[in-house]
């Protein structure tokens, strides 16, 4: 397949059209692309239907993970792939990036108020790890503070995966995103069905009652990695 056949009159198409063309070339479903990009499938669907914009972070992620030309993807300029790219790479069914392992981000999960999903789209992983019990579709982030000590040590890493807030596994540890901050806490059932209890491991911290409607998103903590750095 030559480069000219890949342009699909790119100047007359939208960025969504061009992305769908690449998805067809790589035999990627919408869910498969979301997995490759480590995005929530529902949010990717909103982007593809125009309900959410293509952010610069998402475009950069597409460029890196799909190996596509940024000028072509954004504006339809040139061809989607460099001429040096072996044609057979266009026929990969499973995302090659998955073989790298679980992405590790230089992100303190309790610092700041921007959503993790936004940060994952803008911040490049500092590396990848392959460890037993750490899922490839999760993300490793750091936890600062002692509210979950000793279960999660200050500076330890946790593998997190975004989940629906409708099905809460009571007693499990979650990253809880609220409008003004993020916290790592146990989620416990509240006597009032429209609320949850955020519980710390460290007894020095009091429980917090939070309305379910105030929770923007939840990330299940699937794996905890504590270590001592010996100098």
User: CB within 8 A of 73, min separation 6: which ones?
Assistant: 15, 18, 19, 22, 59, 62, 63, 80
Q: For residue 230, is it within any domain?
A: no
Residue 36 confidence (pLDDT) above 60: yes
Q: For residue 158, is it within any domain?
A: yes
Domain boundary among 49, 81, 98: 98
Residue 93, CA distances (Å) to 22, 26, 90, 103, 215 in order: 12, 6, 9, 20, 36
User: CB within 8 A of 189, min separation 6: which ones?
Assistant: 170, 196, 197
Q: What is the pLDDT of residues 71-89, one digit of tens each?
A: 888 888 888 876 544 433 4
Q: Which of the residue ranges 21-25, 193-197, 198-202 would you say has the lowest mean pLDDT?
A: 21-25
| DSSP 8-state class, residue 171 | T
pLDDT at 31: 83
Domain boundary among 53, 71, 98: 98
Average pLDDT rounded to a whole number, residues 176-186: 90
163 shares its domain with 218: yes
Residue 115 confidence (pLDDT) above 90: no
**12 pLDDT tier (thresholds 50, 70, 90):** low
CA distance 38 to 40: 7
Q: For residue 28, is it within any domain?
A: yes
151 shares its domain with 120: yes
Q: What is the pLDDT of residues 207-225, one digit of tens each?
A: 999 999 999 999 999 999 9
Domain at 52, CATH number: 1.10.260.40
pLDDT at 89: 41
Above pLDDT 90, what percent of the chain?
A: 34
Expressed as residue numbers, the domain containing 39 is 4-98
Q: For residue 155, is it within any domain?
A: yes
**167 pLDDT tier (thresholds 50, 70, 90):** confident
pLDDT at 176: 94
201 shares its domain with 114: yes
**143 pLDDT tier (thresholds 50, 70, 90):** very high
182 shares its domain with 126: yes
pTM of the model: 0.58
Average pLDDT rounded to a whole number, residues 168-194: 92
Q: Which of the residue ranges 41-55, 71-85, 159-173 would you say has the lowest mean pLDDT?
A: 71-85
Tokens of 47: 């982007």
Domain at 165, CATH number: 2.10.109.10
pLDDT at 220: 94
């Amino acid at each position: 397949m030559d480069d000219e056949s890949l342009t699909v009159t790119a100047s007359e198409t939208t960025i969504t059209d061009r992305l769908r063309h690449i998805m067809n070339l790589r035999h990627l479903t919408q869910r498969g692309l979301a997995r490759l990009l480590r995005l929530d499938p529902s949010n990717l669907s909103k982007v593809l239907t125009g309900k959410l914009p293509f952010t610069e972070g998402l475009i950069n992620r597409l460029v890196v993970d799909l190996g596509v030309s940024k000028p072509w993807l954004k504006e339809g300029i040139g061809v989607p792939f460099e001429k040096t790219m072996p044609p057979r790479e266009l026929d990969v069914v499973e995302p090659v990036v998955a073989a790298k392992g679980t992405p590790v981000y230089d992100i303190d999960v309790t610092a700041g108020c921007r959503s993790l999903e936004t940060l994952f789209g803008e911040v490049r992983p500092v590396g990848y790890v392959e460890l037993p019990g750490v899922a490839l579709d999760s993300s490793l982030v750091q936890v600062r503070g002692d509210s979950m000590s000793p279960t999660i040590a200050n500076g330890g890493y946790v593998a997190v995966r975004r989940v629906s807030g409708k099905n809460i596994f009571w007693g499990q540890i979650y990253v809880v995103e609220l409008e003004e901050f993020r916290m790592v806490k146990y989620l416990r059932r509240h006597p009032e069905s429209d609320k949850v209890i955020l519980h710390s491991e460290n007894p020095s911290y009091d429980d917090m009652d939070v309305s379910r409607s105030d929770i923007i998103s939840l990330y299940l903590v699937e794996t905890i990695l504590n270590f001592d750095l010996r100098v």
